[in-house]
Amino acid sequence: MRELSEVETVGVVGAGTMGNGIAQVAATAGYDVVMRDIESAFVENGFDAIESSLSRLDGKDALDDDPNAIRERITGTTDLADLAECDLVVEAALEDMSVKQEIFADLEAVTDDDVVLATNTSTLSITTIASATEREDLVVGLHFMNPVPIMTGVEVVTGEKTAPAATAFAHAFAEDLDKETWESDDKPGFVTNRVLMPWINEGIRAYDEGVASKEDMDKGMKLGTNVPMGPLELADHIGLDICLDASETLHEELGDRYKPAYLLKRKVAAGDLGKKTGAGFYEYE
């Protein structure tokens, strides 16, 4: 396994919300980045998001480097083979086990056999993802929080066969991105979503049952528990489709206490996914 000091180029699979955020923070930390997605339009959308984020941060004097220099460290591609020279790869594709296993099998074929392969999955089993490869000891969870450039936390998740050295490597890499880490075993939902999803779902149910207006539901939780966002606001921020996917996975694994709220399913079916679509529980510009 390579040492962190040997890592110069980081591969990121997926140019969506999480992937482009991971690419941005890695480039901001000085790494060269290869960001790959399956269509060139997705890659371009990822670059648009990065440039917008860098511009906002630069306007707040929150960058130590020129935003153009950071952007130039990132190369886009639709060819997974272009990750062949990467010293670390972080996968941030769809939360679909078959998709992730296919990606990891392909990554094993194109990368050197001492390269750590990390997944940004928020609920799926690291052990099952790793089973698609012959280097299960070098597969680890690196679960970044959204939005990646702003949130300071990263959850490191160890699979059944993840080597202690790979776990330590994941912690060190995240810390080099100016993040703080905590560690979870490979149990459904890990630390964050195992606790967060029931909280969000109960907030949605309480609102749907008329306990309070959506504004008072969120205000009560913010002022009463000192969290920065209430459950409805946070669900919109995460993406209602992502919340539903996570809840359904946890429901399947852990039973009815994780059953998705009916209103959450209805909103997703209507295409109101939160901030990214302009409407969820609230309306957005």
What is the average per-residue pLDDT within 67-90?
98
The reply to whether 16 sits in an annotated binding site is: yes
In a domain? residue 283: no
What pLDDT was estimated at residue 53?
97
% residues pLDDT > 90 (the chain): 99
Q: What is each CA distance from 143 to 19, 190, 205, 269, 285, in whole angstroms?
A: 11, 10, 27, 27, 29
The reply to whether 1 sits in an annotated binding site is: no
Let me know whether 8 and 53 are in one domain.
yes
Let me know whether 60 and 137 are in one domain.
yes
Q: Which of 236, 210, 204, 234 is nearest to 222 (CA)?
A: 234
What is the average per-residue pLDDT within 159-177?
98
- Number of residues that this document lists for the chain: 285
Domain boundary pick from 143, 162, 185: 185
% residues pLDDT > 70 (the chain): 100
Cβ distance 190 to 141 under 8 Å?
Answer: yes
Let me know whether 105 and 200 are in one domain.
no
Cβ distance 22 to 90 under 8 Å?
Answer: yes
Amino acid identity of 182? Answer: W
Q: What is each CA distance from 32 to 26, 71, 164, 246, in whole angstroms?
A: 8, 10, 26, 31
Let me know whether 218 and 272 are in one domain.
yes
In CATH, what number is assigned to the domain containing residue 39? 3.40.50.720
The reply to whether 267 sits in an annotated binding site is: no
What is the average per-residue pLDDT within 264-280?
97
The reply to whether 179 sits in an annotated binding site is: no
Let me know whether 147 and 239 are in one domain.
no
Q: Which of 125, 69, 68, 71 is nearest to 98 (CA)?
A: 125
Let me know whether 201 and 173 are in one domain.
no
Q: Say how far residue 65 (Cα) sits from the centre of its chain.
A: 24
- Residues annotated as catalytic (active site), given as ranges: 122, 143, 155, 193
Number of domains composing the chain: 2
What pLDDT was estimated at residue 285?
84
Domain that holds residue 242: 193-276
* Torsion angle (degrees, nearest 10) of CA 168, 171, 173, 177: -160
Mean pLDDT, the chain, integer:
97
d(CA 243, CA 238): 7
Name the one residue in this structure whose structure tokens are 């399913």.
265
Q: How confident is the model at residue 77 (pLDDT cuts 50, 70, 90)?
A: very high
Let me know whether 126 and 239 are in one domain.
no
The reply to whether 239 sits in an annotated binding site is: no
Let me know whether 28 and 163 are in one domain.
yes
What pLDDT was estimated at residue 105?
98
pLDDT in tens, 248-262: 999 999 999 999 999
Let me know whether 46 and 109 are in one domain.
yes
The reply to whether 146 sits in an annotated binding site is: yes
In a domain? residue 284: no
pLDDT in tens, 201-244: 999 999 999 999 999 999 999 999 999 999 999 999 999 999 99
pLDDT in tens, 27-74: 999 999 999 999 999 999 999 999 999 999 999 999 999 999 999 999
Cβ distance 130 to 116 under 8 Å?
Answer: no
What pLDDT was estimated at residue 256?
94
